[in-house]
């Protein structure tokens, strides 16, 4: 069986609207944060299809018994925001996954060499193999950070088919790297952009997502 990376770009007016707000260089930090929260929410909503485990049972309405589907509370759900920028998507994701555990992963890239290093790792020593993992990484540029995150997560026992990755802007170099190394991964992104500039920034992109979310530019 040949597995192929699946990249979903939801055709949804709310996703398009909040992407446009986030892209606009005149959007102030406070509104940029709102846009990222909303993108986190709607992309998580899309990613949850056929991923959240459900439980078939029945309930009694005031009138009769009927079939009912609940989210299965026995299957662990983990959200992994990649710091810093991934934090901006967290509130939206958590609003739909209130029972998920959140494991922070702090990755920084050297702006000259583009090498990635890990400065914070709150992942558990190992995951329950049934765990569903949602990774929050707004900018898929060179693929350096997401590759390190995938290695850290799958190395702790998570099946890549149970991982969903949400990003806001994805670029071909990162998608190619993920396709080679994690062909069964499912990605949900608001847009796929043309490429990178010489500084490793996505063009047209939205600039430095961390700086814009935290007002540090």
- Binding positions for uracil are 202, 207-209
In this chain, which stretch among 64-72, 156-164, 183-191, 202-210 interacts with ligand URA, using CB under 6 A? 202-210
* Among 91, 90, 198, 210, residue whose Cα is nearest residue 139: 210
Beta carbons within 8 Å of 150's beta carbon, 6+ residues apart: 135, 160, 163, 178, 181, 182, 185
| Cβ 21 to ligand URA shortest distance, Å | 16
Q: Which residue has the tokens 């490793």?
A: 200
Question: Minimum Å distance from CB 202 to ligand URA?
Answer: 4
DSSP 35: H
Q: Which is nearer to ligand URA, 93 or 202 (CB)?
A: 202
Stretch that binds ligand URA, among 13-21, 58-66, 113-121, 200-208 (CB under 6 A): 200-208
Q: Please identify which residue in 46, 95, 208, 214 interacts with ligand URA, judged by CB under 6 A.
A: 208
Whole-angstrom Cα Rg for the chain: 18
Q: Pick from 82, 85, 105, 187 the residue near ligand URA by CB under 6 A.
A: 85
CB of 36 to ligand URA, least distance (A): 11
Footprint of ligand URA on 45-84 (CB under 6 A): none
> Which of positions 105-164 make contact with ligand URA (CB under 6 A)?
139, 141
Interatomic CA distance for residues 25 and 70, integer angstroms: 42
Is 210 among the residues that bind ligand URA (CB under 6 A)? yes
The residue within the footprint of ligand URA, chosen from 51, 81, 205, 213 (CB under 6 A), is 205
CB atoms within 10 A of CB 11: 7
Name beta bridge partners: 202: 196
Residue stretches of the annotated binding site: 84, 109, 137-145, 202, 207-209
Structural tokens at position 26: 């005149």
- Contact 201/19 with Cβ under 8 angstroms? no
Q: Which residues pair with 135 in a beta bridge?
A: 80, 165
Shortest CB 99 distance to ligand URA, Å? 29
Parallel, antiparallel, or unpaired for β 195-196 and 202-203? antiparallel
User: In this structure, what token pair is assigned to residue 31?
Assistant: 């509104």
Closest separation in Å from C-beta 65 to ligand URA: 52
- Which residues contact ligand URA (rule: CB under 6 A)? 85, 139, 141, 201-202, 205, 208-210
């Amino acid at each position: 069986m040949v597995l192929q990376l699946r990249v979903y770009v939801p055709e949804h007016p709310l996703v398009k609207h909040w992407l446009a707000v986030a892209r606009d260089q005149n959007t102030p930090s406070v509104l940029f944060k709102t846009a990222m929260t909303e993108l986190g929410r709607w992309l998580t909503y899309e990613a949850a299809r056929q991923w959240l485990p459900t439980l078939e049972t029945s309930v009694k309405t005031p009138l009769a018994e009927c079939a009912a589907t609940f989210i299965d509370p026995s299957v662990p759900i983990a959200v992994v925001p990649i710091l810093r920028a991934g934090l901006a998507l967290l509130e939206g994701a958590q609003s739909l996954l209130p029972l998920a555990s959140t494991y922070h992963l702090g990755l920084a890239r050297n702006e000259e060499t583009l090498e990635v290093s890990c400065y914070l790792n709150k992942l558990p020593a190992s995951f329950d193999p049934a765990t569903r993992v949602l990774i929050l990484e707004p900018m898929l540029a060179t693929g350096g950070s997401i590759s390190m995150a995938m290695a850290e997560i799958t190395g702790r026992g998570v099946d890549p088919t149970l991982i969903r990755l949400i990003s806001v802007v994805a670029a071909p170099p990162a998608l190619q790297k993920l396709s080679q190394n994690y062909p069964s991964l499912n990605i949900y992104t608001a847009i796929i952009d043309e490429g990178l500039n010489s500084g490793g920034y996505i063009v047209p992109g939205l600039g430095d997502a961390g700086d814009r979310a935290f007002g540090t530019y």
